[in-house]
Structures are given as structure tokens and as C-alpha cells.
Copies of this chain bind each other. A is one copy, B any other.
């Protein structure tokens, strides 16, 4: 049962759908019309710009018309139908207070307890697409990482993983990079050293938002992979000490990598990144490539370093980590804007050969959303 009334002298309507009420402005409604003169029928792109809508647009009439709400806009004199369900799904009339560090419903922070429920897909099943791929991609968007088993053991197999959801991000490291012990490494990743949990390439802007690591040989002792949820770590920091959370999100760190001829990558971004309305949208943490931090005022620098230290301690806490050992043909992907990964040290006896590459989350989320639509399940 829908009802609609004009309010604020035609500047808005109040829509009632069962027990739910929401107000919508004239300009917002007109700009979001879906008639064929406003939106291209095939691709849904808007055919008009805001300049094509009169600045004094207001609502001359509004009525319930069967399943639809029909609104007449003046001075254009156009009558446009809206779907009340669509309107309520896109309502912005709410008295919600958002605290710095809020996360969406589709994101679930996790700790070591996830060890027994690592999101895992079977390579063949994922390659067939459909529900299996949809569910695995859904888990990756929810938890920020996922494992794949039973993949081929062949040079370049990691590209088959990327083909499941998106596109390789080519960089100065190439389309992919080899992770095995090198004699004169350009990067500490190519030694047998253990690496503290980190996000990759924070010196890049935009940072690659997906990393794939694919195991081809794994007979060396050690070398287990670990992942830590950077969002869970940031939220734990906030819970322990709001000041610490504030300084790491309010001030930019700097990152740098200049380990190769012709390369001098530099970025200026916070370790904890919030959207302007406080949504937690990214974590950057990498001891190897942190450059001199020069954007924190002198009076805040001690607090900043104490916060950075505490965040590192939380990240190093075994209660936060999920550990697994990849066998040849197994791989994992991380949302590199959220989940940190680490490697335990490994010895020179035996071999350890991984291939890695970068990709981006937007392609992954897009593939997931499209699959969810096709399979009749709303993407979260």
C-alpha cells in the first residue's frame, strides 16, 4: 500500500510504503528518472546533464498509479513514473549517525577464528562459473581473501585465476613476478627472509587492489603464508585507543620504492584510509617501504609513532592471523586494500617457487555483482 504527498511547497515528496516513510527532493527525483529521454535504454547511461534540468524544478503533481508513483515536474511539465521499491532501496532520508571507521554490511572483519573456515574454491568448479564462482567471489568481497585448490601446476597458471574475475595490472615488476630466492634481489620479497604482514606496493597510487600468489613448487622447509585482516586490526586499534586510530587516519604516511634503475615510486596516503564520511576503505602497512613521514605535526609525531607501533603489534598478534601452507597448484588472492599477507622464513634446502601478479577489486566486484544478478541473488 503506497501513498505519496507533496511537501515543502513542491520541493519534495513524502513516500509511504507500508510502514516505511522517506522524503525525496524534486531535483534528485528528476535527475534519477529512468524514462528513455533521460537514460539510454540499452546501457543505462544518462543522456542529459544537470544543466538540462531547470534549476527551479519542482513537483506540480504526485500520485500513486497502480504499482508506480507518477510525478509531474514543473516547469518542464513532464510526467515521469517511478518504482516505489526502487525509491525505497535508494532512500537517503535517514537519521543515521556514522562513526569514523564504520563498515558496510557486506564486509565482515575476522580474526584467527576464521582459520577453520578459510574461503576456498576448487579451480575446476570456479572455472565453470555460475554459483560456485559467485559464492567464492562473494566470500572474497566479504573477507578480503580466498584460496583456490587443485589448479594446474604450470608456468603462468596465475593468469587463469585472474581470468576468473578480472584483469591483470601490469607494473614495472611485469605482468607477473617470480617469488623465489635470488642472489642479488631488487626486492626483499625475493630472499628467504620472513616478511612481516604487509600490504603490497603502498608506494603505488593507485595501489593494486588485488594480489594473486600462486604456488608452483614448495619443498623448502617453512615459507607458510599468513593473512591478517587489516580492517579488523584497525577496528581493534580504534577500540583500544581512539587517539591512535585518529592520527593514523588523519595524517598521510609516505611510501617509496626506488630499488630498480628508472623506478622512483612515491605515494602520500594514510595507513588507515577513511572515506570522507568515515567509512573504513583501506589499510596500508609495509615496514620495508615506509618513507620518512613528514606530514604529521611535531606535536603529534610521538602519538603517531606510538599508534603505528601498536597497530604493528596487533597485526603481529597470532590471534589475528590465519596461516596456511600452499602446495603446488594452490593459490590465494587478497584484497590488497584491506588484507595483509606475510611469509614465514624458509630455508635454502628444497625449493619454493611462487608466481605473483596484481589485479583490481573493481573487476572482481563487478563480476560478482553481475553473476549474482544472473543467478537471481542480489549481490550484497
Contacts and interface: CB of A to CB of B under 8 A. Distances in A.
Interface of A: 11, 23, 25, 27-28, 31-32, 40, 42-51, 55, 90-94, 167-172, 184-188, 196, 203-207, 209, 249-252, 256-270, 273-277, 279, 287-290, 292-298, 301-302, 305, 308-309, 312-313, 316, 360-363, 365-367, 369-371, 373-374, 379
State how many copies of this chain the complex holds. Answer: 2
Given A43-B188, A187-B43, A264-B370, A27 B259 contact: no
* Chain B CB within 10 Å, residue with most, of A362, A363, A367: A362
22 contacts: A42-B185, A44-B258, A45-B188, A45-B257, A45-B259, A45-B289, A48-B287, A51-B196, A51-B316, A92-B295, A167-B172, A169-B169, A169-B170, A170-B170, A171-B363, A206-B206, A206-B207, A252-B277, A261-B370, A262-B367, A265-B365, A268-B279
A31 B304 CA distance: 13
Contacts of A48: 287
Contacts of A184: 42
A59 B288 CA distance: 24
Contacts of A188: 40, 43, 45, 47
A65 B281 CA distance: 46
Given A205-B209, A206-B207, 11 more contacts: A23-B298, A28-B293, A32-B292, A42-B184, A42-B259, A94-B298, A167-B171, A169-B169, A252-B277, A262-B370, A266-B366
